[in-house]
Structure 1
Amino acid sequence: MLVRLMYASRAVAAIGDDELHAILRKSKADNPKHGITGVLCYSQGIFIQVLEGGRGAVNRLYNRIVADARHADVVLLSYDEIGERRFAGWSMGQVHMNRLNPALLLKYSETATLDPYAVSGKVSLALFEELVSTASVMGQS
């Protein structure tokens, strides 16, 4: 059974480009072994990530993320059984936030900043899908 899980978290410490790329490289190496696909968005200390795959594999990965000392305030935004993947082309892609039009954020929230803690999970997923479709996504497998 396939599931889609979306979560948000705050980085405990600042994440530089090198560390972010290391996270993406590790995800791209590990995720295919477990049948997991997804996309990561990081901006101003906040991670939003969508993970897709088998229920057990996605749950195990999410539990590791929750226990990871680099994350704080981990919040499950949505968790759904799905018939097909939306992000099947990415072992782990990254939304390129510096190409994003801030007006897109205003469409879904009170300010032009990425804050999944201030909106519902449903709104977060809609925003994330639009981020993926309008911003460039790096790291296709």
Structure 2
Amino acid sequence: MLIQLTYASRTSRVLGPADIKDILSASQRNNARAGITGALCLNNGIFLQQLEGDRAAVNALYHRLLKDTRHKDTAVLDFGEIPHRRFTSWSMGLLGSVDANRQLFLKYSSTPDFDPFSMSTLMLRSFFDEILQNVRWLE
């Protein structure tokens, strides 16, 4: 059974470009092995990630993420069964806070700062629908 899990967390410390590159590289490598696909957004010290794949594999990954000291205040924002994957082109894409993406982050935020913790499930799903088509991904 395919599931999709969306969670948010706050960074526990300031992350530099090398940290982000390490997170993305490890995610791509490990997720490919586990059959997990998805997208990771980082903006204003907040991670927002949508994972998709086998229920046991996504669940195992989420529990490993809970132990990662780079995260704090982790919360599941959306979870459910899906009929198919949406992020079939990559094991993990990273959406960063570059100028080209800032308007999109603001579009779905109820405050001047991006805050997925306050987004409804419908807003989260719409946000990820839009980023699939209209954003600049970091590699």
Q: Same fold (TM over 0.5)?
A: yes
> How far has the Cα of 1:112 moved from its partner?
3.6
Residue 90 of structure 1 corresponds to 90
Q: Distance in 2 between matches of 1:47 and 1:90?
A: 18
Secondary structure in structure 2 of the residue aligned to 1:89: coil
Q: Distance in 1 between matches of 2:44 and 2:126?
A: 20
Secondary structure in structure 2 of the residue aligned to 1:138: coil
Q: Distance in 1 between matches of 2:74 and 2:121?
A: 13
Task: From the superposition, tell whether residues 133 and 97 of structure 1 become closer, same or farther in structure 2 (CA, over 3 Å).
Answer: farther
> Is the 2:106–2:114 contact (alpha carbons within 8 Å) kept by the matching residues of 1?
no
Count of residue pairs brought into register by the alignment: 138
| Consecutive unaligned residues in structure 2, runs of 5 or more | none
> Is the 1:38–1:50 contact (alpha carbons within 8 Å) kept by the matching residues of 2?
yes
Structure 1 residues 62-111: Cα deviation after superposition (integer angstroms, max 9, x where no partner)? 01111212111101011111111000111111113312142x34433323
| TM-score under structure 1 length normalisation | 0.89
Residue 121 of structure 1 corresponds to 121
| TM-score under structure 2 length normalisation | 0.91
Percentage of matched positions with identical amino acids? 41
Q: Which runs of structure 2 are paired with 1:32-71 in the superposition (5 Å)?
A: 32-71=32-71
Q: Provide the alpha-carbon RMSD of the alignment.
A: 1.5
Secondary structure in structure 1 of the residue aligned to 2:39: strand
Secondary structure in structure 1 of the residue aligned to 2:114: coil
